[in-house]
Each structure stands twice: as structure tokens, then as C-alpha cells.
Homo-oligomer: A and B are copies of this chain.
């Protein structure tokens, strides 16, 4: 008794495992076993089944499979935006490693809105994602952190795993993995690079109090100043977000406000650097002849403008996130749950020595 006696060709029900079983003359269970591969089976049966699968062009229904308890699911990644190169490269790493492990990758974007981020995590929980990877910069707020910790616990309870990628840990007993990279160290190194070249008035572009990434970058900047015994002038730190046009705006405003009072620029990331560079050039200032400049991230754009910058292992960040999450789920919490990847500076051609009038070093 066919479920549908009508013979309309259009809306025909897709082939199920039952159809395959019938076509091959075996039971449904046998087909399932042979397809999962995880069971002994007679070669003759096997080939019968495979032929049926091919002839009917059968593919298993992932929903049914997931429901029935077969584990292979998917990996979720949540980013601010797909077009931002920083996120894109991490996403690429996640995608690569996920494919390697035979899982697929569902992405959500938040546009930087913590509310949407929280909501998206819930969505991924619904979706039964094997792990949920949260990437990058976020507001550093207690209430937010507490909510996220709650979600981490909910995910763990559902057999999933929260991974924080490029952002600090939530707290000591929150079941989340953390993959960081050394923002402060990188910022310290590249600021030192400028200081060693003799620069003393270094403009920092992209401060944003209460946001994890700029906060730790500026911390490295300040520490380097202190190490070189250069007095810290808060007036040299400009507020702004990590976008190209913000870099443009900040330089613009600075130069419009009065005479130039800096010899070098530390852009919070390479995008800001690109925007800042354009504004500087529009003001007739050449890099590095008139002003030295460094950035952060080592995005492709840095190569275009020959920018000395800090290399961040974006793809490895993403790959490691997936690898660790899956590993952690296999061997229940045997491995480390917090790693810090290194950064290093990439010297190109945007820094010139500056003859220090005051060699207090």
C-alpha cells in the first residue's frame, strides 16, 4: 500500500532507506549497517546494496540520522562578519579542519551585536552542533559573560562544546575551550620596533575601552612605552573601531585639529592602517618618509601597502579550535583546554629611523 497512490511525477517523495532495502531485497537494518560501514557484511550483500543505492540515487537524510543517534554532526562558527578578513581567515581554518574531520560547517554572523551573538548560540544548540566556535573581539562585560557561561553549561549538557577563539576565558569553572593568540605580546613587540627606531610620539589608532582585542593590544603598547621609559600620553590614543574608514576618520580629525604631534602611527589593525594611510597621503604626508606606520593582523592588504605589522595565525586559530573541540569530546577532558598561539612581527617597509632629540634611553 503506497503512501501516495497518485502518480504525479512532480512532487514524488525522495527515496528512503526502505526503498533501497526493497530494491536490494534485504532488510532496512542491513542497508543502514552497510552504509555506515561499521559492521561485518557478506560481500555479495554489500554489492547488492551498493548497486541499489546507485540506481536509486539514494542519500541518507541527515536529520533522521542525527535523530537516531549517529554522532557525526556539524561544527558551528559564529563571527562578526564574513567579509572582514580577520574573521574570514579564521573561518577558512575552521572550514578546512571540519572538512578534514568529515563534518560540515554552519556559520552565523552577529554584526558585533552581543544580543545577536547569544541568540545565534541558541540557534546552534538547536541545530545540535558538535561544537560552537565564537570568534574574536567582544565587549568585556560581566552580565554578558555570565550569560555566555550559562550557555556554555547548556551546550556541555547537550553534549556540545563551546570554544572561544581569539578572546579571553569566561571564568575558572566554565566548560569552554579557549584558543587565544598573543595580542599583548605582539603589540609590545611592534611598539618596541618603533621605539628602537627612535620614535617617541607614537599615535595609537583604535582604542575601544571594554573590548577585549583593542584592550589587550593597547596594553602591549603601553607596556612597551614603559619599558623604554617613554612617558605615556593618553592624548596619543584615539578611539575608534577596527574598520578602514575609522582609520581614515581618526587621522583626518587629528590633522584637522592642529599641527602633527606624532612621528609614527600604530594602527590597531591593518584595515585601520590602510584607511589611515590614505588620509595621511591626502594630507601630503608620505609613509615612511614623513611618518612611520605599523599595523596588526598581517592581512593581505598589509602586503599591498608594504606594511610592517604583526602576524596573527588566523587559519591555525580556526583549525586548532575545531581540532581541540573534537579531541576534547573524544577523550573526556584529557587535553589542555586553553592554548595561546604566538604572534611575530613582519618587517616590510613602513618604518624609518627617527633621530631622537632626547635619547633618554
Contacts and interface: CB of A to CB of B under 8 A. Distances in A.
A139 interface: no
Contact of A158 (B14, B123, B128): B14
A82 B74 contact: no
Contacts of A104: 106, 108, 123, 127
Q: Which of A60, A63, A122, A305 has the most CB of B within 10 A?
A: A63
A202 B11 CA distance: 53
A108 B108 contact: no
Given A12-B157, A107-B105, A127 B62 contact: yes
A353 interface: no
A159 B14 contact: yes
A169 B86 CA distance: 34
A102 to B, nearest CB: 10
Interface string A67-95: 10000001000000111010011011001
Given A92-B81, A95-B82, A63 B304 contact: no
A106 B304 contact: no
Contacts of A159: 11, 14
A301 interface: yes
B59 A122 contact: yes
A57 B154 contact: yes
Given A85-B83, A88-B82, A62 B109 contact: no
B126 A61 contact: yes
A85 to B, nearest CB: 7
Nearest to A64: B67
A210 interface: no
A108 B105 contact: yes
Contacts of A66: 63
Nearest to A159: B14
Contact of A83 (B12, B88, B305): B88
Contacts of A291: none
A300 interface: yes
A274 interface: yes
A116 to B, nearest CB: 9
Contact of A244 (B123, B277, B300): B300
A63 B128 contact: yes
Nearest to A11: B159
Interface in A210-235: none
25 contacts: A12-B157, A57-B154, A59-B125, A61-B67, A61-B126, A62-B127, A63-B66, A64-B67, A67-B67, A81-B92, A82-B91, A85-B85, A95-B109, A99-B109, A104-B106, A104-B123, A105-B106, A106-B106, A107-B107, A244-B303, A274-B304, A277-B304, A300-B301, A304-B304, A304-B305
Given A57-B154, A59-B125, 6 more contacts: A11-B159, A63-B63, A64-B67, A82-B92, A95-B108, A105-B106
Interface of A: 11-12, 14, 57, 59-64, 66-67, 74, 81-83, 85, 88-89, 91-92, 95-96, 99, 104-109, 122-123, 125-128, 154, 157-159, 244, 274, 277-278, 300-301, 303-305
